[in-house]
Amino acid sequence: MSVRMTIDVAKESLCINRILGQKSQTIIVEGDVIVPDIKPDILSAIQTTGNVCVYKKEIMEGKIRIDGDVKLYVMYLADDEESAIRSLNSSVDFTQVVDFEGCLPQMSIDDDICIRNIECQVLNGRKINIKATLDLNVKIYSNENVELINKVNNLDDVQMLKSEQEIDSLVGEGITKSTAKDTIVIDSEEKIAEILSAKCNVINKEVKISYNKVLAKAEIETKIIYLTQENSIKVKLEKIPLMGFIDIENISETNICDLKYKLKNMLIKANTNSDNSIYIEAEYELYCRVYEKQKIEIIQDMYCPNANLEFKSKHVTTMSNKNNIIEKCSISEKFNVPELNTNQLYNAELQPRIISKNVSNSRITYEGEIDILFLFSGNNSARIDEKKYTVPFNFNIIADNINENTNIDTMIEIANQDIIIGNDGNIELRTELIFNINTANNTQINIIDEMQTTPMDTKDCYSMVIHFVKEKDTLWKIAKMHKSTIEDIVKTNNIEDPNKIFVGQQLFIPKYVHTQI
């Protein structure tokens, strides 16, 4: 009976990281809001804006749960003798459960949530109904430590077919919280009555790796629309610095860093009693994943001419060709909004969104829209109106090493905007969108897992055979088939290039002579 022998091997540890899956969903957040006693009744809603805050994420077996709220500003026409413009600040909570096959609690989650639309319906003078449509995009990352066999210690003459592959190995991940705070002093001639709306955006993002830390720097651009005691509407744009440190061991400046900013909470309050100022506080969660481009040698196949070598292999999916692309898209568009003919424009809010993307021939083609929300003085007693106009756009980006199955994560930031209002409501929009695109492929590699051997048992004593090359033959296949080696076949047949053999070619194959066991 042949005795199986366990082989002593050397192994290399590797952290395999891959995107388990990605899902996009539409979330409908709905709830009723009661007008506080200190506020007058609502006659009609003028404009409703909001910010999404996520304060809890949980990964469970087969699903994820996201808890958050939409912080609202409802600008409305009061039902009083003056028909005054007032504002209601409130929030609507939401919980969203997403089924995700294969996800487990030890995995990581990356989520993006943005507001597509908010509808406000007045139920009565003291109660309104809010319906917010949110776009949710979720990715689940799986991290697994695997061991690669790269050497056999106690078996002579093992033939190995290796290939070199470059993968993006996860070095580490970390999370921290950071808060941007500031007090904005308003001109004493513009006494603040109340905040009508507020919006926070993260801009001018920078990231630097140093001394096992990730330094994240950005600015929180806060746009505040407020009402003065003289019933004038003013807009204040303020940029507040935000900084955070994330501790991650064994990282270096050459690593690739993915950093996401998530708004967790915000507070914007008018100080009307003393200093006529606005207090801003925005808390963000900074989540970072750091990758290293690593070249590894993978054993694709192996055999031993003088022993029966048995092994098991498994397929492992990992991340490769990770890349970050930043491109600018300049948009210039002329259109007409008759309502703005002679009225004063208070604010124009731009909200870009991607409708579809297509990948073909190393090119990403985006189709999208920019919603422009105009806030201007109206002709009715409310003295303020809202108008939305949509501008379509198309944008192409060249990206190497991508295909239809590439994971593509796209964020759009508005770099600048210029809106020129001419006669008869003619408007010219000039804006620049910054596309921040992260791409990564899921690559399948073959890993040899277990090995064992039994001594060769054969009566075949021939020392040389003749092989005629067939279609799809390689020297590796021929050598393995006849228990020979590529080196011996090349030497015996005076082959100049081992990668070049042709169909019908006659090869002399030297074989090892084995004795009966």
Cβ count within 10 A of residue 45: 18
pLDDT for residue 516 = 44
Q: With contact defined as beta carbons under 8 Å apart, do 115 and 132 qualify?
A: yes
Determine if the pTM surpasses 0.75: yes
Cα(473)–Cα(475) distance, integer angstroms: 7
Question: In the numeric block, which tokens belong to residue 254?
Answer: 């050459």
Residue 209, C-beta contacts closer than 8 angstroms, at least 6 positions apart = 215, 251, 252, 253, 255, 257, 290
pLDDT for residue 128 = 96
- The owner of tokens 């109660």 is 127
DSSP letter for 476, please.
Answer: H
Instruction: Give the pairing type, strands 9-34 and 108-124.
Output: unpaired
Cα(228)–Cα(189) distance, integer angstroms: 9
CA within 13 Å, CB half, 277: 8
Q: According to the 3-state scheme, what is the secondary structure of 7-36?
A: CCEEEEEEEEEEEEEEEEEEEEEEEEEECC
Polymer length of the chain? 517
pLDDT in tens, 297-338: 888 888 888 778 888 888 888 899 999 999 999 999 999 988
Helix H or strand E encompassing 491: helix 486-493
What's the fold here for domain 458-510? Membrane-bound Lytic Murein Transglycosylase D; Chain A (3.10.350)
Sketch the domain layout of the chain as residue ranges.
Answer: 17-146, 168-298, 313-450, 458-510
pLDDT for residue 462 = 54
Residue 391, C-beta contacts closer than 8 angstroms, at least 6 positions apart = 331, 333, 335, 369, 370, 372, 429
Residue 268, C-beta contacts closer than 8 angstroms, at least 6 positions apart = 195, 198, 222, 224, 278, 279, 280, 281
Q: With contact defined as beta carbons under 8 Å apart, do 439 and 402 qualify?
A: yes
Return the percent helix, strand and coil in the chain, to nearest 5.
5, 70, 25
Please list, residue by residue across 302-341, b when 16 or more beta carbons sit within 10 angstroms of its beta carbon and e when fewer do. Answer: bbbbbbbbebebeebbbbbbbbebeeebebeeeeebebbe
Please report, as a single letter, which amino acid is at residue 426.
N
For the chain, list residues with pLDDT below 70. 1-6, 378-382, 455-463, 512-517
Q: With contact defined as beta carbons under 8 Å apart, do 359 and 397 qualify?
A: no
Cα(16)–Cα(142) distance, integer angstroms: 8
